[in-house]
Amino acid sequence: MKEGSEIDISVVVPLFNEEESLPELYAWIKRVMLANNFSYEVVFVNDGSTDQSWNVIEELCSTEKEVRGIKFQRNYGKSAALHVGFQAVKGSVVITMDADLQDSPDEIPELYQMITEEGYDLVSGWKKKRYDPLSKTIPTKIYNGVNRIMSGIKLHDMNCGLKAYRIEVVKSIEVFGEMHRYIPVIAKAAGFGKIGEKVVQHQERKYGKTKFGMNRFVNGFLDMFTITFITRFGKKPMHFFGLWGTLFFLLGGAITIWLVLYKLFVDTQSRLIADRPEFYIALTVMIIGTQLFLAGFIAELIGRNSTTRNNYLIEKEI
């Protein structure tokens, strides 16, 4: 195996309880790499597995010099596994894939070519034909459709585990929480805008069962709003909170002024302004506006004291 940046491909495989599939997956990856004369490394990130997955990784490491293993003390989630894997890789192109054999290593050569020859920063797989039940495929289509609208990134399968990256991308982004679903959005926000897509083969699960339930769709939509806000207003929260706070306050103020003028010039003999429901609506709207404005102000103060407030990516320097 070549050292340092001379490695062609690094494969990052996050896993949780996948002991049966690991030997077969690595053998498949190795076969593809040797057939295409790639120098490579495979980084298995064991996300707190409770089965014999780590023992399998240790055995692979003892016999295969291209294999590296990272073990978490407990289960932290896929985002944490990817983040740690990204910090460890050395190859010029980084491939991520799931450990359940549903992602085909045969796609690696074309993904590598799209990065190295076509100049993409990131290429995401698209499992156009899926072997999943309708209870999973229909919510996935809805989720990806909303995602395309909100992010502006035209990908059919944002959450596909099979992706390829330039090494500069994975070294420049931070994947946290459950934001692995939105790595293309995070990469675009970091300035890596050439994002492509490739139709990939979806394999039926051979061993075990899926580790994700229906709650991932609810969490996914919530995370989508979070990442949209962070990427657009993370450095300027007052532009969001201040704008809406001002609009709410002005709306409440306008309703109040209308009530006063109506009382003075139109309905002078009627009940007091404070007896009208419109007065309390106006008061509530003004309070909401004030709270939004103060939230933006506090967010700006927090951001000004953040140690990452001036973290900018420099591509070149002459």
Residue 97 lies in a domain: yes
The per-residue pLDDT for 110 is 96
Provide the domain count of the chain. Answer: 2
Residue 28 lies in a domain: yes
The Cα–Cα gap between 11 and 60 comes to: 15
Same domain? For 279 and 260 the reply is yes
DSSP character for 103?
B
The last residue of a domain, from among 181, 208, 233 = 233
Same domain? For 207 and 70 the reply is yes
Residue 62 lies in a domain: yes
Give the range of the structural domain holding residue 273, as residue numbers without chain letter. Answer: 238-304
- Looking up residue 157, the CATH number of its domain turns out to be 3.90.550.10
Residue reference for tokens 């089965």: 51
* Token representation of residue 233: 């207003």
Same domain? For 247 and 186 the reply is no
Burial class of residue 203, CB neighbours in 10 A (0-12, 13-18, 19+): middle
Same domain? For 207 and 255 the reply is no
Q: What is the pTM of this model?
A: 0.74
The per-residue pLDDT for 315 is 58
The per-residue pLDDT for 2 is 47
Residue 40 lies in a domain: yes
Same domain? For 111 and 222 the reply is yes
Same domain? For 57 and 92 the reply is yes
The last residue of a domain, from among 184, 212, 233 = 233
Residue reference for tokens 């190795």: 30
Same domain? For 222 and 264 the reply is no
Phi-psi region of 67 (alpha: psi -120 to 50; beta: other; left: phi over 0): beta
Half-sphere exposure of 203 (CA within 13 A, CB side): 18
| H/E run at residue 69 | strand 67-71
Same domain? For 298 and 200 the reply is no
The last residue of a domain, from among 218, 233, 248 = 233
Print pLDDT tens along the chain (318 aa).
444 458 999 999 999 999 999 999 999 999 999 999 999 999 999 999 999 999 999 999 999 999 999 999 999 999 999 999 999 999 999 999 999 999 999 999 999 999 999 999 999 999 887 766 666 667 777 777 777 877 788 888 888 899 999 999 999 998 887 788 889 988 998 889 899 999 998 877 677 666 555 566 666 667 777 777 777 777 788 888 889 999 999 999 999 999 888 888 887 776 778 888 888 999 999 999 999 999 988 888 887 776 655 555 555 666
The Cα–Cα gap between 169 and 191 comes to: 9
